[in-house]
Structure 1
Amino acid sequence: MYFVCDLDTRMSDSEIWEHAKRHQLIILTKDTDFLVKSLRDDIGPKVIHFKLGNLSLSELHKYFSEFWSLLVKEIRSAKIILAYRDHIEIIK
């Protein structure tokens, strides 16, 4: 797993997109721009778009404890996952 700060904090969204595409990475984001780009780009990287609102660290930990294995399983065949507080939506 990489974070943008592990690569280069000055990377633009386009550079992040191309890096993920080139290295077959999955973009995990709260940024709607990546969701829109994914809907337009047929061969882009997979995206998990988190629509969780503001969560405390303990709430975020609980969320990932509950949903992480499902996210990992479903992203294998999905192009996009919309991750909400109480469910996920899959776009293939």
Structure 2
Amino acid sequence: MSTTAFQPTMRRAARAQTAALRMPVARTAPNLIVPTLVVAGAVYAVATYVRSQLSAESETMNRMFAQQNTPQVMESRRKSLLVDTEGDPRKTIYNVLNW
């Protein structure tokens, strides 16, 4: 085994070409604007889609609860949950989302 130091086998001309390929891309306005617009458009599209889905789900739930919250059902709940003596369970600290 040889004790000489490692010597690269690549020639100088090849090293010069690879150095030219690794030159940094200039940060000009078009190079920054296009990716920014793409990201902003994608975020906007996702946010719009999520908002429309949440709105549709909210309308569905509102229709479902409107059918269940008739005066007869509310009176039955009031009697079965002892609202007059123990208070309305929908107004407790544990049901924060309903406030």
TM-score tier, shorter chain, comes to: under 0.3
TM-score where L is the length of structure 2? 0.20
Q: Structure 1 or 2: larger strand share? A: 1
Q: Structure 1 or 2: larger helix share? A: 2
Query: Which of structures 1 and 2 has the bigger CA Rg?
Result: 2
TM-score where L is the length of structure 1? 0.21
